[in-house]
């Protein structure tokens, strides 16, 4: 994206206005059309990237992440101070119940 931006900016920089007035050449309208096409192409590309990125955070993926987190934390329950101070808790579910956790399942 940045490389394309630099190339386009370099190609049309002579058409941009500065303090001395416009330095447009006869070819500027064609370059502006080129920029419009480039912007539209990038808009489409970013839509795909955004859709894919946001797709990671769907309900199905949330369940998988939650399951992975529980699998990771389960062996550590016996090392949690709250679990060892009050009683022996072998699972996250037992620890949550003993602490009176009213957390929603999701």
69-101 per-position pLDDT tens digit: 777 777 776 666 554 555 566 666 776 676 665
User: Residues near 88 by Cβ (< 8 Å), separated by ≥ 6?
Assistant: 78
Q: What is the pLDDT of residues 36-72, one digit of tens each?
A: 888 889 899 999 988 887 777 666 666 666 677 777 7
46 alpha-carbon distance from chain centroid: 12
Tell which residue, 30, 32, 28, 51, has the closest CA to residue 40.
Answer: 32
Q: Which residue has the tokens 């699998």?
A: 71
Are the C-beta atoms of residues 14 and 25 closer than 8 Å to each other? Answer: yes
| Residue 17 DSSP label | E
List the beta bridge partners of residue 21: 18
């Amino acid at each position: 994206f940045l490389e394309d931006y630099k190339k386009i900016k370099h190609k049309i920089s002579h058409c941009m206005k500065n303090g001395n007035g416009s330095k447009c050449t006869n070819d500027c309208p064609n370059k502006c059309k080129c920029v419009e096409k480039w912007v539209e192409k990038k808009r489409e590309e970013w839509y795909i990237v955004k859709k894919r990125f946001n797709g990671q955070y769907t309900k199905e993926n949330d369940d998988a992440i939650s399951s992975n987190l529980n699998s990771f934390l389960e062996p550590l329950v016996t090392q949690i101070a709250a679990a060892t101070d009050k009683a022996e808790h072998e699972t996250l579910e037992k620890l949550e119940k003993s602490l009176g956790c009213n957390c929603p399942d999701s």
